[in-house]
Amino acid sequence: MDKNIRIAILNNEFEAQLLEAALNEQQIAHHFECYRDLAYDGIFQLQRGWGAVYASEADRSTVLQIIEEIRKIPQGNN
């Protein structure tokens, strides 16, 4: 089994949810580390991003491609 490495920092929970669905669909083993800390009222998320995604080095390019596609999706109220 490959060791999981940090692949990318995620901007928000929406991005994480979309990424998780895509990775599960492609059966890519992964996990997330959320930077939310209740003791500091989420200040680390403002500075460091929502959190990070971890996966194997072998899946790195696939994960990054999926993130790139997710970030092309318009966000906000249109």
> What's the whole-model pTM score?
0.80
Quote the pLDDT of residue 73.
87
- Nearest to 4, CA basis, from 71, 52, 70: 52
Quote the pLDDT of residue 48.
66
Instruction: Judge whether 26 and 62 are in contact, CB under 8 Å.
Output: yes
Quote the pLDDT of residue 44.
58
pLDDT tens, residue order, the chain (78 aa): 568 999 999 999 899 999 999 999 999 999 999 877 655 555 655 566 788 999 999 999 999 999 999 999 887 655
For residue 29, what are its two tokens? 């083993």
